Structure 1
Amino acid sequence: MSVQAQGLTLEDFARHEQFIEVKISPTGQYLAATRRDADGQIELVVIDRQKMQLVSQRHFSGKDSIGGFDWANNERLMLNIAREGGALEKPVATGELFAMDANGKRSLFLTGVSSKDKSTTVSTVIDWLPKEEDNVVIAEYNWRNRDPLVFFHKLNIRTGRKSSLGSAPIRAVAGVIAALTDAEGYPRLVAGLDSKDNNKLIIMHRAERSGDWQTVASYQRKAGSFSPLAFSQDGAAVYGVSDATTNTMALAKLDIATGAETLLMVSEDADIFPIFSFKNGRAAELIGASFEYDQLGSHFMTEVQDKAASSTIQGLLAAFPNKAVKLTSATADNKLMILEVASANDPRAFYLFDAEKKQIGFLLEAAPWFANQAISQTQSITYKARDGQEIVALLTLPHDREAKNLPLVLMPHGGPHGVRDSMSAMEDDAKVLAAHGYAVLQPNFRGSGGFGKAFLTAGYKKWGTLMIDDMTDGVRHIIAQGIADERRVAVYGGSYGGYASLMSAIREPELYRCAINFVGMSDLSLMYKEGDTTEHNLGIDTLETYIGRSDEVLKGQSAIHNLDKLKAPVLIIHGAEDQRVPLVQAEVLRKAFDERGHPYEWLVKEKEGHGFYKPENNVERWQRMLAFLEKHMAI
């Protein structure tokens, strides 16, 4: 069945979501939302909730965009500025903070190079100071300054004026500053990289507001650590997520005086993530955790202070079974809450919960054109790899035909480390392919995130071996189940997934009829010479951890050095302005194909980066992919 037969077109799948985030103001008077316009640019709109009338809208020029936003008080918003690259890259925060009134007036840059003091700082709000309408507390570091210091300031959100709250001898981790304040807004705990050792993570605390910082705990960066989230009620301990003593990410409590860690909640199979109650419109008490192994789930603590809030949140999650539910914001009195709900089979939708009436009302859909349309369904499955390791995967099937002897597309995810395919969000590529009659398999091969350290690190330096074998075993499982026709199997992916497409076809030349490489690397050694990953020492260290420096490994696991084993024709798709995997990775592959006379097709789009943003370019990409698959999968 084609997409058009379902009532949906490729243009529908390519359209940017109409809404990205929705948040309610502290009094409930306004709703603010980020959305993409027809050109893909993100803008902030503010709506009067009672009148449902547009109050203001704001966007930025060039590659500057809106990374996120929050209500700072009843009438004023703060925006995080980000810079966009490609569709497979998250917008990179610039560290600049911008403020505006709900009506769009009195706007100004509060921090960063565009602010009045033109500071080269990266700033993060660490306390919204609900008792002080015009002030917040920020942590910031100067990206031009090599000195390992994080500075704290009280920031006036109307004038941009700062007053110092001291500093801490610590480095931010990948641009992220983790710090906690006391009840009065004074920074008391900070986590980051050791000032003298970038391979060590430390947590520091100061007992007095102007006292010296003392190390509470330290960890080798690659061996697991504790990430602080909130102080205990008595301030003697801090709650957080940790894999310092466990394989998977767990909820834990760290004693500030002794550095001893107590586990509160842990899963043997999957990482867990915190669930907080809300108070004064902000995250407050740690009350439980969410997790996903092969299904979405949650678990709540029995001993909590605000049992009513915990009960409310449990009820909200129960109202949307098998879906990911996120509480995006709430009014200061918790009477109104905004929920974001989604799954692999449901585009994101937003709901308004009225606590007094105990009613959940539909608010809006992120992509309303999908409403009441038939969409191929995705399910979670498990299978055994050849060495007995259980692998979780997603399987999307055409909804209009029997799941028997279908053409199959293996679709490995990008990343690859720390990333996973999830039942919490809809994947457009999978839905488009399934709508055209293909079964689509998305395996969470070893090296994927979410399943613990052992599973994650098992993929290190095995990008083109073990990780590929895990994918192959998934394909063979689907064939053995009778779902897929072994004569009609293809592989497609983006970024690492594009690399894996090439390596899968090389490692299993008799299995795949064709391969599609979307912004993938063909030569691992080139990653050390080209691309933005190696612009910083931490990026180089990460590459060395992931793929190593061994010439034998880099050549043995690079498509460019193993083309003699490749039989499948290849479709190469790339963005000319890709900074993560530069175009040269595609060009060297094309040159080698030309020299060998290997069949391939070529699609490069100017002004696109690591993935395609423009809807028309994604439509063209899918058209070329579908034509390529049809050409080579016919029997």
Structure 2
Amino acid sequence: MTRPLARPLARLLALSALSLLLAAPARAEPPPASAFFNNARYSAAKLSPSGRHLAMRARGQLGRDALLVVTLADKSAKMVAQFSNIDIDDFEWVNDNRLVYDTRDSRSAPGDWTHAPGLFAVNRDGGGFLQLVDRGYDRPAETGTHIRTAMMPWNTYLLGQEGAQDSDSVYVYQPERRAGERRGIALFKLNTLTARAQGVPRPANMQRVVLDAQGEPRVATSSAGGTAAVHYRDPDSGAWRKLRDFPAYGDAPGAFSPVGLGTDGMLYVSTSAGTDRAVVRTYDVATNTLGDKPLIELGEYDFSGRLVTGGGRILGVRLLTDARSTHWWNADMRALQEKVDSLLPGTVNQISVARRPETPAVLITSWSDRQPPVYVLYDRESGALTKLGEAHPEIKPDAMGERELIHYTARDGMRIPAWLTLPPGGAGKKLPLVVLVHGGPYMRGGEWKWDADSQFLATRGYAVLEPEFRGGTGFGTRHFRAGWKQWGLAMQDDLADGARAMVARGVADGGRICIAGASYGGYAALMGLVKDPDLFKCAVNWVGVTDINLLYTGTWQIESDLPEAWKQYGMPQLIGDPVADAAQFKATSPLEQAARVRQPVLMAYGNQDARVPLAHGQRFHDAVKAHNAQAELVVYDGEGHGWTLEKNRVDFWTRVEKFLGRHIGPQAKSE
């Protein structure tokens, strides 16, 4: 049900006086690391409920991300919110006149953050500024159903759904913690003119809430004691009732996840009940029964997406197969998509419409495997396209490599999807190869879009293979289940089999292959050196697990942020039990097997990482450095589970470029 991707890829067309043509002749020298890993120039855009105005997050004159409002009638723009020492982060329209937003600090690492995101409101003309949520960590958090007139405490966050956009209020939430661990969220309705907040009844241990077409809380999920549940709020009484519960982890026959609610109150859910792939079905809340017939099924892919509404009705569904697209149920929107795609060939063109449109304007976000996002305004009456901004204007599509989804067969016959990104200008033969392993691992890895990591490596002359190895999600229940308790075993074999498949196809030079990844991917990179030393000549591990037992026990320096429920109910099923599987844990632990690692290895960690604490890297480095002089450990002060600071991203990937260049790069000799 997705639009076929145009081949060969076309560049964006030159449109009107502003010119949307972003491609340029390929340069002899690849773009610098800063072009790939700097903060986006434009990073979000949203139409107002009427479609008469548009808000954008963009780099302001003060060098920080600011909030810009464009009046579409005359294309006038006004910076309505900006700070000299903080960035605008998430934002949403409250109504056609008012916006709400929170903040972040892009120039400080997480360990150095001294304030919470806060929450603020402002009118579209820049007036009516009001702080709604305190940014100070020292104020006590309060929850309940009482009414507050002061600022809400720092641990109050925007819900992340657009809501009704027809009043002065929005929904916000506060994480509830007991015994130091998050157990659910409390929900509040917050007036953005008065800062008065009123608690909203919710099920115990609520994890997620879904607003209906009228912007009211209607469906919620909860989780406690290894059991997940879905709840429904009666429109008349306001009382919550449980629809169904099922195991939170592992096998859960009949489980489903809310996708959204229609304007008629119909509940749409994603479920793999009775099938290997997740599909979209209706759910009758009166009888607690799933609809018999799938409304959307995506062949080889699990459904992942959300409903699109506008003009008081459901228009279609956002979804992800190899690429993102929209399945339009509305005939006018289908015709509009075809028109836009003809004007902007070779790109994914995601159309966003106003909630209650009064103008012909729609917002288009366009991207491809070689093009970072571009924000475009389209006038349905005049046919005019106006470029609003580019996320990374330094990136030129013709200087990037092509990315495609391929498949190869693992040693046990399982068909493994994988993303292959090749250097600009063609496939080439016997290229140096980087096997780039995604984290999680119980998640989907990639999609057809511009990816900074893989494109940076491709522009340096490397083929990049990103396997969707077993255990990952998005490709069916069988694919997911095949990875249970397979860390360092069949999951690891999938990576080696992918590398060998690229050698067999003539894409890769079998003597110049490196394996790299972050988090679980970092674990797999180290295990690649242990298990397949003749195949992988080097490894890059950042924020990677080095010992599975450390995920359970924590470390001496900082506590892991893995939830206790995940450790108790999820990890024993999906990863293994520390007692019953002790022998397997030892055999598949890079730390325990460090004496076997003789190849060059580059590692990097943040000293404030609460997911995979620095001790993982320190212990492994201590174990390997005595016999391996080519083991390097880099520590980024203040960073957590990944690199927040632009300078650290640039520094890390510059190190990676030099490391790969020494060991498998175009100038390195094949053994």
Q: TM-score, normalised by structure 1?
A: 0.86
1:492 lines up with 2:520 in the alignment? no
Which residue matches 1:180? 211
Q: In the superposition, relative to structure 1, how do residues 122 and 535 fare at CA in structure 2: closer, same or farther (>3 Å)?
A: farther
Q: What does 1:234-249 align with in structure 2 at a 5 Å threshold?
A: 234-235=264-265, 237-249=266-278
User: Could you give the per-residue CA deviations for residues 97-146 of structure 1, whole angstroms, max 9, x where no partner exists?
Assistant: 432222444333435676624375555266733443x234x264552469
Which residue matches 1:72? 94
Distance 1:498 1:151 in 2: 36
Secondary structure of residue in 2 paired with 1:432: helix
Q: Is the 8 A contact 1:411 1:491 kept in 2?
A: yes
Which residue matches 2:176? 143
Q: In the superposition, relative to structure 1, how do residues 79 and 380 fare at CA in structure 2: closer, same or farther (>3 Å)?
A: same
Q: What does 1:353-432 align with in structure 2 at a 5 Å threshold?
A: 353-371=378-396, 373-400=398-425, 403-423=428-448, 425-432=449-456
Which residue matches 2:301? 270
Which residue matches 2:246? 219
Question: What is the Cα-based RMSD across aligned positions, in Å?
Answer: 3.5
Which residue matches 1:19? 42
User: Could you give the per-residue CA deviations for residues 382-401 of structure 1, whole angstroms, max 9, x where no partner exists?
Assistant: 11111111111111222246
Q: In the superposition, relative to structure 1, how do residues 559 and 264 fare at CA in structure 2: closer, same or farther (>3 Å)?
A: same
Secondary structure of residue in 2 paired with 1:20: strand
1:445 lines up with 2:469 in the alignment? yes
Q: Is the 8 A contact 1:6 1:374 kept in 2?
A: no
Which residue matches 1:202? 230
Which residue matches 1:457? 481
Q: Is the 8 A contact 2:120 2:129 kept in 1?
A: yes
Cα shift at 1:606: 2.0
Give the partner amino acid of 1:180.
L
Which residue matches 1:509? 533
Equivalent of 2:201, from 148, 167, 190? Answer: 167
Cα shift at 1:159: 0.9
Cα shift at 1:41: 5.8
Secondary structure of residue in 2 paired with 1:330: coil
Cα shift at 1:509: 0.8
Cα shift at 1:559: 0.4
Cα shift at 1:151: 5.7
User: Could you give the per-residue CA deviations for residues 565-588 of structure 1, whole angstroms, max 9, x where no partner exists?
Assistant: 323121122223323222111111
Secondary structure of residue in 2 paired with 1:473: helix
Q: Is the 8 A contact 1:226 1:243 kept in 2?
A: yes
Give the partner amino acid of 1:208.
D
1:343 lines up with 2:368 in the alignment? yes
Comparing 376-385 with 395-404, greater Cα deviation is found at 395-404
Give the partner amino acid of 1:444.
E
Give the partner amino acid of 1:32.
A
1:547 lines up with 2:581 in the alignment? no
Distance 1:527 1:39 in 2: 42
How many residue pairs get aligned? The number is: 610
Secondary structure of residue in 2 paired with 1:347: coil
* Structure 2 unaligned blocks of 5 or more: 1-25, 137-149
Distance 2:306 2:428 in 1: 38
Q: In the superposition, relative to structure 1, how do residues 266 and 330 fare at CA in structure 2: closer, same or farther (>3 Å)?
A: same
Q: In the superposition, relative to structure 1, how do residues 455 and 81 fare at CA in structure 2: closer, same or farther (>3 Å)?
A: farther
Secondary structure of residue in 2 paired with 1:5: coil
Cα shift at 1:86: 10
Q: Is the 8 A contact 1:277 1:310 kept in 2?
A: no
1:627 lines up with 2:658 in the alignment? yes
1:481 lines up with 2:512 in the alignment? no
Q: What does 1:83-162 align with in structure 2 at a 5 Å threshold?
A: 97-111=119-133, 116-118=151-153, 121=156, 124=159, 128-132=163-167, 134-136=168-170, 138=171, 140-141=173-174, 143-144=176-177, 153-162=188-197
Q: Is the 8 A contact 2:352 2:364 kept in 1?
A: yes
Cα shift at 1:61: 5.3
Comparing 472-481 with 12-21, greater Cα deviation is found at 12-21
Q: Is the 8 A contact 2:110 2:638 kept in 1?
A: no
Cα shift at 1:259: 1.1
User: Could you give the per-residue CA deviations for residues 58-81 of structure 1, whole angstroms, max 9, x where no partner exists?
Assistant: 24857xx65421111222111255
* Percent identity of equivalent pairs: 28
User: Could you give the per-residue CA deviations for residues 570-627 of structure 1, whole angstroms, max 9, x where no partner exists?
Assistant: 1122223323222111111111123334531232222333222333333332332222
Equivalent of 2:565, from 534, 538, 553? Answer: 538
